[in-house]
Amino acid sequence: MLPIDVAAHSSRWRRRHPCEKAALGLGLTVTAVCLPPWPGAVLVGAATLAVLLGPAGVAPRRLWRAFRIPLGFCVTGAVPLLFAVGGPDGPVAFAPDGPPEAVRLLLRTSAASLGVLLFAFTTPMSDLLPRLVKAGVPPAVVDVALVMYRISFLLLDAIGNIRQAQAARLGHTTRAAAWRSLAGLGATAFVRAFDRASRLQTGLAGRGYDGTLRVLVPRAPVSRTFLGGVAALLTGIVVLTLVLERFAL
Amino acid sequence: MHIAEGYLPPLHAAAWGVASAPFVVHGARALTREVRANPDSTLLLGASGAFTFVLSALKIPSVTGSCSHPTGTGLGAILFRPPVMAVLGTITLLFQALLLAHGGLTTLGANVFSMAVVGPWAGYGVYRLLRRFDVPLMVAVFFGAFTADLSTYCVTSVQLALAFPDPGSGVPGALAKFGGIFAVTQLPLAVSEGLLTVLVMRLLSRS
Amino acid sequence: MELVDAGYAYEDGPAVLSGVGLGLAEGRSTALLGRNGSGKTTLLRLLSGGLRPATGRLRLCGEPVTYDRAGLTRLRTTVQLVLQDPDDQLFAASVEQDVSFGPMNLGLDEDEVRARVDESLAAMDIVALRDRPTHLLSYGQRKRAAIAGAVAMRPRVLILDEPTAGLDPHGQERLLEVLGGLGAAGTTVVMATHDVDLALRWADDAAVLTPDGLRTGPARELLADRALLDAARLRMPWGTAVAELLRAHGLLGGGQEGPRTAEELAGWPPGGGVAGRVPAPPRTSSRG
Amino acid sequence: MELVDAGYAYEDGPAVLSGVGLGLAEGRSTALLGRNGSGKTTLLRLLSGGLRPATGRLRLCGEPVTYDRAGLTRLRTTVQLVLQDPDDQLFAASVEQDVSFGPMNLGLDEDEVRARVDESLAAMDIVALRDRPTHLLSYGQRKRAAIAGAVAMRPRVLILDEPTAGLDPHGQERLLEVLGGLGAAGTTVVMATHDVDLALRWADDAAVLTPDGLRTGPARELLADRALLDAARLRMPWGTAVAELLRAHGLLGGGQEGPRTAEELAGWPPGGGVAGRVPAPPRTSSRG
């Protein structure tokens, strides 16, 4: 199963309205992207980390495991900034502005990723998807996303089992075997996905399925205090950044 | 290949969002029409999307020996056509950002443009073109998937180059840098994805 | 409800069922038995309106069922079918959302939907799972969530296909308990099962599919009929053989019911003396 | 093969198993019992090399198993695990292709692969299904095709997770027959099951998972141990209770085996007289 999904469903902030968590997490992300990385991203990163590990109660190990992924991309993506090509110093040369720019990029990506992780670790898809209709997403698209979410987990489960079964029959020992296994996996996933859909259709018919998946949206009040706090935090970070940038640095 | 959260400057992030929007809106309209005309298609489209999502989570052995993930957009476009893939791809990217920490929300527009718009259209275009010239099905499938994967990576390189032009040679130089670095992994991967797609299609056409 | 002289054939296939009649008396529990391929699933789908009989008809409270929208809605609020694999019925991201699907489709207002969801979750003893995503539930929990989705339609007849398959003994007990609760509240429960021991233990009536058609009657009688069990390719339940043995030894009166489980047999006779006819078994062997 | 003092814990979770020991004697059949969540599947995966024990070790013919490529290959050509859901094991387009998957991966030449496929299809009694696409098979046929895929690896130990779940009584009989054939040919068969009656009937040995660990021993003894059954939250098998009853009435000698099925009980005593100790039951009641 997917660790972020599991964590989101048992999050301490599960009962909070997704709007509150979106305002906080995505607000922090946007702030990180828009402010100058130094000192803006550092401040956002520190604040986000504090919220994540503090009130939101995300386990540090789980957070690190999830955070490694964007970090890996960012490090790879920052390497080209260290070099200049085709300049006066030859076809490939060290770029003097490269290291600080790479660091700035790392800071911005890290802070922005943490913001999204704050939202992802506290807001399960089940709370988010049905509410997207109110945000203007066409209901048919939301229905498809709901089915995608459900069937994806069934498929992931099946694929895990099939991989094990293939390994037991030495499906990963040689390159030819690995390709045979992989092709079997892809084809089985396809067949299974549509088998699942047709079985769901039979299963839902008795409850009046007509192409629309109407479900009860969980009740949660939007806390004005929380939103106020978010606004204060974001404003504080912006002001502090601008002040520090102008006067201290 | 996903651009991570926060990697693009705000203006670029917004611009790519604007560039993707018409395709996604068009796809969403096509999808809504489809569901209205045929109510059962909600479940079938959900299944298609789930398949795309799960396919992109598979690890495939690259020719160089390392492992990577296929984009799945070529197979998806051939099976489900590009407009629908724009929507399914966008939902997939949203799931990847929120469930796997792959990609991001501010970079969603850029990723949608490369993986859910250009990739499927280019792959599908090549596939149709080859089919029109009576190229065997599996060859067309291979080049369709290969092109979808490769064009996705090309667009991503352009997106990165535009965001971080080379101090000496500007955008073209940066393109060479990003393209060069990712070519090492992405070219073999595109071949792998083409092969995988052919194998999957063969199994599917047999059963 | 009642199925009269019904038949069905899938496209291009031979008749799966023909001339089948089945009446369900209100509040009684019925076990439907028959080997795979005997048309059990077809029968369940005929009863729940998923298939339309090719011949014969389905009646609800004496009136024939119509298969237009209004007729189907009436049927669906009366009869609910729970499939064997819970994943065939759970589509939503959380248990509450899934259970709410049926009531929402009935066009009820939100408070009423919420009340029905609460009621069904309570009946299935899964209130604590309300907000859990369906993919993180155990198999037994998914089974109960799927049944809750059907119960939320407040059916008068609940039909379950192999509800105990894949559950461990403890899970089976819990399921039988909640089904007992539904039965006590007046729901007619029909269960298709391969487990003859379970059928004998749980059901008032049995309906057995054989190649010659459907036989119905009290479970205790039908499951003691060896010719019928053979024709249906079913095993003999332990309970039947044990009751015969006990009767043969004067440990069980003619009209009395035998032990329903091995545990009951081990503690036989219950309470120590029924009408003075049942002597305590002499302990001649000391083993075990 | 032997599992010594093994323990396992999933990431971020408590220990699922600890200090578990299990020895499998060649050619004997073992039933593994335990409720859902007791670590049964984990144990099966430890035995088949799908998981690596966190503590303790797995031994094959006295030597510890190594988890490098060579060691795993050796383990996998010795031990094969068949999962509960056959769809998790069938991934090729036809039965023949699927069964040939393992032998192909062993790098055998084409004739040898063909021979193994023939042999496994014959052992599972599905030669006629050779060219059929797997998704058009019935559930029971898929089960047997999945087992054939494992058998084609010519394992000395075959482990099956809930092989009879979802099969009708007739299908269960057929499966037990083919497993009996494998056992007679020298394969050690291990079956995880919830069905205590089946376990008592089929297995030589039992391995019962309780919260305190794993208990192993002869099936007849373990499945008569009420404290153990309670601890493992298992039901008492009918066979145990019936054997006690028969012994109490002098219908079964101390060392003798009781009836294995209800059919055997109904025809008890078998043959009409074992060592003259077993009187024919007096027919005092005429009902039935």
pLDDT averaged per 10 residues in sequence order, chain C, 288 residues: 78 79 88 88 89 87 87 90 94 94 94 95 94 92 95 94 88 90 92 92 93 91 92 90 87 82 84 44 42
Give yes or no for A1 touching C (CB within 8 A).
yes
CA B92 – CA A23 distance, rounded (Å): 23
Residue B89 has pLDDT above 90, yes or no: yes
Q: What are the start-end ranges of the H helices in A206-246?
A: 224-243
Q: Do A98 and A84 touch, CB atoms closer than 8 A?
A: yes
User: Cβ D85–A161 below 8 Å, yes or no?
Assistant: yes
CA C208 – CA C217 distance, rounded (Å): 9
The whole-number pLDDT of residue B202 equals 83
**Global pTM exceeds 0.95:** no
pLDDT band at D288 (very low <50, low <70, confident <90, very high): very low
The whole-number pLDDT of residue C281 equals 45
DSSP label at residue C78: H
The whole-number pLDDT of residue D271 equals 62
Residue in this structure with the two tokens 């149709």, named with its chain if needed: B128
Mean pLDDT of the D46-74 span: 88
The whole-number pLDDT of residue B2 equals 83
Q: List the helix and strand counts (H, then E) for chain B.
A: 8, 2
Give yes or no for B7 touching A (CB within 8 A).
yes
Residue in D with minimal Cα distance to B206: D93
CA A117, A122, A128 angle in degrees (round to 5)? Answer: 100
Chain D residues within 8 A of A168 when measuring between CB atoms: 48-50, 76, 80-81, 150
Order of strands, edge to edge, in the sheet holding C2-9?
C15-23, C2-9, C55-60, C63-64
User: Cβ A158–D88 below 8 Å, yes or no?
Assistant: yes
Q: What is the pLDDT of residues D161-204, one digit of tens each?
A: 999 888 888 888 889 999 999 999 899 999 999 889 999 999 99
Mean pLDDT of the A223-232 span: 94
The whole-number pLDDT of residue A18 equals 94
User: Cβ D134–B207 below 8 Å, yes or no?
Assistant: yes
Scanning C97-116 for CB atoms below 8 A from A yields: 97-98, 100-102, 104-106, 110, 113-114
CA distances from C179 to A206, C172, C190 (A): 19, 10, 10
Q: Across chain D, what does the average pLDDT equal?
A: 86
CA C165 – CA C167 distance, rounded (Å): 6
Residue in this structure with the two tokens 């479900």, named with its chain if needed: A215
The whole-number pLDDT of residue D274 equals 39
The whole-number pLDDT of residue B67 equals 56
User: Cβ B206–D93 below 8 Å, yes or no?
Assistant: yes
Portion of chain D with pLDDT greater than 90, in percent: 44
Residue in C with minimal Cα distance to A203: C89
CA A57 – CA A39 distance, rounded (Å): 26
Residue B79 has pLDDT above 80, yes or no: yes
At C174, is the secondary structure helix, strand, or coil? helix
CA distances from B100 to A63, A70, A152, B91, D189 (A): 12, 10, 13, 13, 40
Q: What is the pLDDT of residues C115-137, one digit of tens each?
A: 999 999 999 999 999 999 999 99
Please name the helix (run of DSSP H) or strand (run of DSSP E) that holds residue D98, with its range, or none: helix D95-105
Chain D residues within 8 A of B206 when measuring between CB atoms: 93-94, 133
At B166, is the secondary structure helix, strand, or coil? strand
Residues of chain D with CATH 3.40.50.300: 28-52+78-235
Contacts of C222 (CB under 8 A, 6+ apart): C206, C208, C215, C216, C228
The whole-number pLDDT of residue A69 equals 86
Candidates C83, C168, C194, C251, partner chain D, best to mutate (most D CBs within 10 A): C168
CA A186 – CA A178 distance, rounded (Å): 12
Give yes or no for D167 touching C (CB within 8 A).
yes
pLDDT band at D275 (very low <50, low <70, confident <90, very high): very low
Contacts of D231 (CB under 8 A, 6+ apart): D210, D211, D212
pLDDT band at D276 (very low <50, low <70, confident <90, very high): very low
Chain C residues within 8 A of A208 when measuring between CB atoms: 73, 76, 102, 105-106
Of B53-62, C2-11, D126-135, give the range with the top mean pLDDT.
D126-135
pLDDT band at A158 (very low <50, low <70, confident <90, very high): very high
The fold for domain C28-52+78-235 equals Rossmann fold (3.40.50)
Residue in D with minimal Cα distance to B205: D93
The whole-number pLDDT of residue D57 equals 85
Q: Which of A40-49, B92-101, C263-272, D255-264 has the lowest mean pLDDT?
A: C263-272
Candidates C238, C246, C265, partner chain D, best to mutate (most D CBs within 10 A): C238
The whole-number pLDDT of residue D50 equals 87
- Residue with the bigger pLDDT between B159 and D10: it is B159
Structure-block tokens of residue C77: 């609020």
Question: Quick one: CA dihedral B45, B46, B50, B51, positive or negative?
Answer: negative
Task: Work out the minimum CA distance from A207 to partner chain C, whole angstroms.
Answer: 5
Domain ranges (residues) in chain A: 3-123+219-248, 145-206
pLDDT band at B1 (very low <50, low <70, confident <90, very high): low
Residue in this structure with the two tokens 């009836």, named with its chain if needed: D259
Q: Amino acid identity of D25? A: A
The whole-number pLDDT of residue D280 equals 43
The whole-number pLDDT of residue B113 equals 96
Mean pLDDT of the B60-82 span: 75
Looking at this predicted complex, what is its ipTM? 0.88
Task: Work out the minimum CA distance from C130 to partner chain A, whole angstroms.
Answer: 10
Which of C87, C89, C96 faces A216 most closely, judged by CB atoms? C96
Which of C104, C133, C153 faces A216 most closely, judged by CB atoms? C104
CA A113 – CA D222 distance, rounded (Å): 56
Task: Work out the minimum CA distance from D139 to partner chain B, whole angstroms.
Answer: 17
Chains touching chain B, criterion 3+ CB pairs below 8 Å = A, D
Q: Do A105 and A37 touch, CB atoms closer than 8 A?
A: yes
Task: Work out the minimum CA distance from D220 to partner chain C, whole angstroms.
Answer: 10
Mean pLDDT of the D101-117 span: 94
Which of A150, A205, A210 faces C92 most closely, judged by CB atoms? A150
- Residue with the bigger pLDDT between B126 and A94: it is B126
Mean pLDDT of the A23-40 span: 92
Give yes or no for B36 touching D (CB within 8 A).
no
Q: Which of B54-63, C226-235, D114-123 has the lowest mean pLDDT?
A: B54-63
- Residue with the bigger pLDDT between B153 and C279: it is B153
Residue D260 has pLDDT above 50, yes or no: yes
Residue D287 has pLDDT above 60, yes or no: no
CA B185, B191, B197 angle in degrees (round to 5)? Answer: 125
Residue D60's φ and ψ, nearest 5 degrees, are -125, 115
Residue in C with minimal Cα distance to D36: C168
Q: Do B72 and B56 touch, CB atoms closer than 8 A?
A: yes
DSSP assignment of A56-125 equals: T---HHHHHHHHHHHHHHHHHHHGGGGEEEEETTEEEEE-TTHHHHHHHHHHHHHHHHHHHHHHHHH--H
Task: Work out the minimum CA distance from D92 to partner chain B, whole angstroms.
Answer: 7
Residue B64 has pLDDT above 60, yes or no: no
Q: What is the pLDDT of residues A34-88, one digit of tens each?
A: 999 888 999 999 999 999 999 999 999 999 999 998 888 888 878 878 888 776 6
* Other CB atoms within 10 A of residue D107 CB: 13
CA distances from A55 to A42, A47, B134, D213 (A): 20, 11, 62, 39
pLDDT band at A149 (very low <50, low <70, confident <90, very high): very high
Residue B66 has pLDDT above 60, yes or no: no
CA distances from A183 to B184, C81, D92 (A): 24, 37, 9
Residue in B with minimal Cα distance to A36: B9
CA D165 – CA D148 distance, rounded (Å): 17
Scanning C73-92 for CB atoms below 8 A from A yields: 73, 76, 80-81, 83, 85, 87-92
The whole-number pLDDT of residue D283 equals 43
